[in-house]
Amino acid sequence: MTVVVIGGGMAGVAAAVAARQGGRHVVLLERSRILGGEAVRDGHRTLCGLAPIDAAFPDLLEPELTGPWVPRLTTGAPFRRGRVWLWPTHPGQLLAGLTRGLADAGVEVRLGVEARLGAEGLVEMTTGNLHARTVIDASGMALAQGRHRPPAQWGACRLELTAPIEDTPEGQRRALRRLAHLTPWAALESLGSGRWQLSLDIPDPAPATTQDCAEAAVAALGGILETPVVTVASRDAGGYAGISMADLFDVDQRGLAWAAWPSEVHEATGVRWTWPPRDRHGMPLSLVKPADAPPWLWCCGRGLAAAPDAAGALRVTGTALALGSALGRLVSSG
């Protein structure tokens, strides 16, 4: 029986591969011409959430679910930053690794395809319809069509620049202070040789366009813009449904898989971080199976049934890989 996965981001690809390895015929649909979703488009350079919080060593939380992906997607040894371990990568490596994983598993991939859900597992496309026993929505489309809304986003962008910034913690702090009048939050990541990746939130209401805000930030740093400005997320407000951060962090059973990452909520005044009370928390079935979802429909990635504060703890690459893999195994065994 066919499993259709809508959305080719990290979670969608992991779910598709796991379902195919479980013996299902799997078709993955992605509306853009490139796989990897936000992780590739937005220039991710680390894999996050793969290890427990405060771990002394970079042992994987879910070695069976994420272990096969690590050598495909990473570019070097993990390193510790604060309370967490990060695995280095870059967009090209992510794209190549995800593409190779799908091909090795034998997943049928269709890029540049717009899809919408019909009834009883019918996926409608301009190129024709697919009938599936199971549909996994990794795009947020199903929630957007129903009474649910996708989790809130903040206005944010990312870019790369060359700038005379001292490559030390204090040097970065001094540079970021020069941006305080432009943005409620910004972060710098050294790319070596005077090159930097800059992420910044756009004020709400924004005094200018995203491009204008980004160019003003580059000028304030005395830098030169090297890449196009990428919109990471657009601000979204409204009603939301799904598990809250407090309820999520209270889950002390594994459920579908373990997760380990703080909630990162971007607000008008900056970023609000909330850490789980333990080194990990479980991800319950309700995240991928909303109470009113039809029996053939499951969700992951951007489609998770999670409130904004909970989504802020789940939308990291390592968690996406673990949850997508767990869901793919689940639907292939049912």
**CATH number of the domain bearing residue 190:** 3.30.70
- Asked whether residue 273 is assigned to any structural domain, the reply reads no
Q: Within this chain, do residues 167 and 144 fall inside the same structural domain, yes or no?
A: no
Which helix (H) or strand (E) element contains residue 198?
Answer: strand 195-201
The CB-side HSE value for 231 (13 A sphere, CA atoms) comes to 11
Pairing state between β 134-137 and 297-299: parallel
- Asked whether residue 267 is assigned to any structural domain, the reply reads no
**CATH number of the domain bearing residue 29:** 3.50.50.60
| pLDDT tens figures, 153-194 | 456 888 999 999 999 999 999 999 999 999 888 999 899 999
- Residue 244: closest CA among 317, 307, 164, 174: 307
- The answer to whether the CB of 46 falls within 8 A of the CB of 89 is yes
Q: Within this chain, do residues 227 and 296 fall inside the same structural domain, yes or no?
A: no
Q: Within this chain, do residues 141 and 288 fall inside the same structural domain, yes or no?
A: yes
Give the number of other CB atoms < 10 A from CB of residue 109: 18
Q: Within this chain, do residues 111 and 250 fall inside the same structural domain, yes or no?
A: yes
Q: Can you give the pLDDT at residue 238?
A: 43
Which helix (H) or strand (E) element contains residue 175?
Answer: helix 169-177
- In this prediction the pTM is 0.87
CA distance 200 to 155: 9
DSSP string computed for 252-309: -S-BT-EE---EEEEETTEEEEE--SSS-EEB-GGGTS-TT--TTEEE-GGG--B-HH
CA distance 93 to 75: 7
| pLDDT tens figures, 115-125 | 888 877 777 77
Q: Within this chain, do residues 168 and 251 fall inside the same structural domain, yes or no?
A: no
Extract the tokens encoding 19: 């379902």
Domain membership of residue 169 as a residue range: 156-233
CA distance 192 to 174: 18
Number of domains in the chain: 2
Q: Within this chain, do residues 91 and 205 fall inside the same structural domain, yes or no?
A: no
- The residue with tokens 């195994």 is 329
- The answer to whether the CB of 248 falls within 8 A of the CB of 275 is no
| pLDDT tens figures, 29-83 | 999 999 998 888 878 899 999 999 999 999 999 999 999 999 999 999 999 999 9
